[in-house]
Amino acid sequence: MTWAGHRERWGHWLCRHRGWGLIPLLVIGLLLERHILPASRGSYMLIAGAAGILFGALLRVVCSTFISHHESHDSALATRLITDGPYAISRNPAYLGEGAIALGIAMMSRMPWFVLVTLGGLFVLMAFIIEWEEKALRDRFGQEYDNYSRLVPRWFSFSQMLHPDSYLKTRGRVKLLTAVRAEAGTMLIGLSAILAFLAKADLEILQLSRMIP
């Protein structure tokens, strides 16, 4: 198999299993304490991280009101090209949400170097996934996808937020409750991360206060 073939296989596999990557990220962030900022100095990282996790989870739910759970985990199963809602602003809004959650977890660890490592890991991961996904969508939808990719950026554009098909002016095809259920695992990991990191910071502050006479 050629190198391109290997990249395609890895991209497909990573796309289907990418959600599980949040768990080891959370475990490492909680257990590893190398060059960690004290809770008193790292509060800004806790706040920014929690905001990132909440934003990412909300964005995932919004995306899931436009695309089915199976299609979001394997673009090769897509029956139609989604071009409205958040997909009128970015071709990969769900990945933006996942990236925000991952970076949020890294931020809440209060280890700046871990944030940089996570950012680098996301860059490599998304490079493989998006290369595979864009090929799969182009093979499936042809000229329709090419037209869409010319109009909508791969990641984000402020000008596209004013697009008439933006989410605030468009209703998704999937019921909100169904979307929430589809993203229950991601939301549970995000909520667990916020509570765990806050509890860890509170425990550090409590232990420090007991050491001060």
Phi, psi (5° rounding) for residue 83?
-130, 5
pLDDT at residue 37, as a whole number: 81
Confidence category of residue 204, pLDDT binned at 50, 70, 90: confident
Helices (H), the chain: 3-17, 22-31, 43-64, 69-73, 93-108, 112-141, 143-151, 176-182, 184-211
Q: How many CB atoms lie within 10 A of CB 147?
A: 13
- Tell me what percent of the residues of the chain surpass a pLDDT of 70: 79
For residue 165, is pLDDT > 60?
Answer: no
For residue 100, is pLDDT > 80?
Answer: yes
pLDDT at residue 103, as a whole number: 96
Mean pLDDT of the chain: 82
Confidence category of residue 172, pLDDT binned at 50, 70, 90: low
Q: What ranges do the domains of the chain cover?
A: 3-206
Q: Is 86 exposed, middle or buried (0-12, 13-18, 19+ CB in 10 A)?
A: buried
pLDDT at residue 99, as a whole number: 94
**DSSP secondary-structure letter at 89?**
T
pTM, two decimals, is 0.86
Confidence category of residue 213, pLDDT binned at 50, 70, 90: low
Using CA atoms in the order 142, 144, 149, 150, what is the torsion angle rounded to 10 degrees?
Answer: 110
Q: For 21-40, how does the pLDDT look when each residue is reduced to its tens digit (9 = 90+)?
A: 888 999 999 998 877 888 76
